[in-house]
Amino acid sequence: MSIQDAIAEITLILGQRLTTSKSDLDLHGRSETYFAACPPDAIAYPDSTDEVSQIVKICAAHNCPVIGWGTGTSLEGQSLAVHGGICVDFSRMNRIIAVHHADMDAIVQPGVTREALNLDLRATGLFFPVDPGANASLGGMASTRASGTTAVRYGTMRGNVIGLTVVLASGEIIHTGTRARKSSAGYDLTSLFVGAEGTLGLICELTLRLHGQPESTTAAICAFDTIDAAVACVIDTIQIGIPMARIEFVDAATVAAVNAYSGSDMSERPHLMVEFHGSETAVAEQAENFGEIVTDHEGHGFEWAANSEDRTALWAMRHSAYWAILAARPGTTALVTDICVPISRLADAVNAVRADLADAGVAGPILGHVGDGNFHSILLFDPDNAQELETVKDLSNRMVERALEMGGTVSGEHGIGLGKLGYMEREHGGAWAVMGALKTALDPQNIMNPGKLVPPGN
């Protein structure tokens, strides 16, 4: 079998760093959500770009699928080996190669996690802002074009990756971008590989844009009587130009779950959680202006978290919401939706989801990055109950269809993987075939994460 031949040849290079142990295969065959396990045939742990190149060359010679693996925290089954093959686990390629202070960039290997990078940067006055919640690997975050709570201010991985080293399907190593802040020298290959979910090549090195740690930070939380009021407050805040660093929405059901999980006693209404970054004066002014907008929309229960401990507690609460929601109904798992709509349609979209949930009798607390128009509903279901899975899939389907009708996207930040593949044609129309043509041009044998992202047959 060709995959077995590939495994044998790769073993000659990696020795014990190529494994077929059942426990490791199982670990790399699982995803964070509801997809059926789908283990690869072997896992490779390369130490260098050159080793990745050799692995891919061998796979190309044997027509063997190659799937990248960061921390396994993707939410749409991106790293599931649906056609078997070699899983390339980047955990050993976790070196911060360089930090350029004056240029405010860093060069890292793909296995570096965002927390590891920020820990390393702590004393430099710089930080890497993209924060999807999970302590994901930077290679994985680039591959799924991740974002999170800070995208409203600092952008997504699209804007924060300025260059890449990529191993192509042939095993060839290429470099995209330079260390210059901008360039108009040809096709933007960096942007093409960011979000490609490993279907065009494996990211082996990233040049990332860093930002200055803010002189001052303050955060706040406040409640609203309706979702419409909370969203109107967000729109006004953006329009008036207050540069929020984060602006997060949680609905009443999320608050209830968090209260139960953390023992907090927030009022069970829709809330906004915000953070401001800047000079002391700027942050104070932003906070004051925001407070006025909140009052205009009859927000209440305003609480500031100016000191670092209160702020950590506030964002820990936000980041624990997923686990709090899961804990609200023990034994369940979740389908996490991820639509993003023009912000003018956000209240409509959230309200429609709530109506759907009520009709279906499903618990689906809603939270999201409302400054971007991006929100998630955590649809709980019993994994042993096929009927429940069908019901939540149907709900998710309706949300996605509605997002498209509203001019939005089927995936704000989680990517496509297996969960959203069925919507690609609906969102992109003829442009999906263009993606297929690009895939065929760069990976004619279809060995790079096959079965993902592009039309079947490409």
Site for its own copies in 155-194 (CB under 8 A): 155-156, 158-159, 168, 172-176, 178-189, 191-192, 194
**Closest C-alpha among 97, 127, 134 to residue 113:** 134
Q: DSSP letters of 196-221? A: STTSS-EEEEEEEE-EEPPSEEEEEE
Q: Is 100 in the site for its own copies (CB under 8 A)?
A: yes
Alpha-helix residue ranges (DSSP H) falling in 213-335: 227-239, 252-262, 280-296, 308-327
- Give yes or no for a contact between 2 and 10, defined as CB atoms under 8 angstroms apart: no
The one segment of 15-23, 55-63, 294-302, 369-377 that binds its own copies by CB under 8 A = 369-377
Q: Is 343 in the site for its own copies (CB under 8 A)?
A: yes
Of residues 201-230, which lie at the interface with its own copies (CB under 8 A)?
A: 212, 214-215
Report in angstroms how near the CB of residue 317 gets to its own copies at its nearest.
Answer: 24
Residue selected from 56, 81, 206, 340 as contacting its own copies according to rule CB under 8 A: 340
Pairing of strands 374-381, 366-369: antiparallel
Place of tokens 């296995």: 111
What number of chain residues touch its own copies (CB under 8 A)?
92
Q: Is 138 in the site for its own copies (CB under 8 A)?
A: no
Q: Which is nearer to its own copies, 300 or 426 (CB)?
A: 426
Q: Please count the CA atoms within 13 angstroms of the CA of 241 that sit on its side-chain side.
A: 1
Q: Which is nearer to its own copies, 19 or 374 (CB)?
A: 374
Q: What is the DSSP letter of 36?
A: P
Q: Please count the CA atoms within 13 angstroms of the CA of 193 that sit on its side-chain side.
A: 30
Q: Is 420 in the site for its own copies (CB under 8 A)?
A: yes
Q: Is 140 in the site for its own copies (CB under 8 A)?
A: no
Of residues 29-88, which lie at the interface with its own copies (CB under 8 A)?
A: none
Neighbours of 279 (CB within 10 A): 11
Q: Which is nearer to its own copies, 383 or 429 (CB)?
A: 429
Of residues 344-363, which lie at the interface with its own copies (CB under 8 A)?
A: 344
Residues with Cβ within 8 Å of residue 1, at least 6 apart in sequence: none
Place of tokens 């790293």: 79
Q: Is 441 in the site for its own copies (CB under 8 A)?
A: yes
Residue selected from 9, 41, 51, 413 as contacting its own copies according to rule CB under 8 A: 413
The one segment of 115-123, 293-301, 381-389, 428-436 that binds its own copies by CB under 8 A = 428-436
Q: Which is nearer to its own copies, 116 or 238 (CB)?
A: 238
Pairing of strands 126-127, 173-176: unpaired
Q: Is 101 in the site for its own copies (CB under 8 A)?
A: yes
How far apart CA 182 and CA 11 sit, in angstroms, is 41
* Cα torsion 391, 394, 400, 403: sign: negative
Report in angstroms how near the CB of residue 405 gets to its own copies at its nearest.
Answer: 11
Report in angstroms how near the CB of residue 222 gets to its own copies at its nearest.
Answer: 21
Binding characters for its own copies, 228-257, by CB under 8 A (x = yes): -------x--xxxx----------------
Q: Is 105 in the site for its own copies (CB under 8 A)?
A: yes
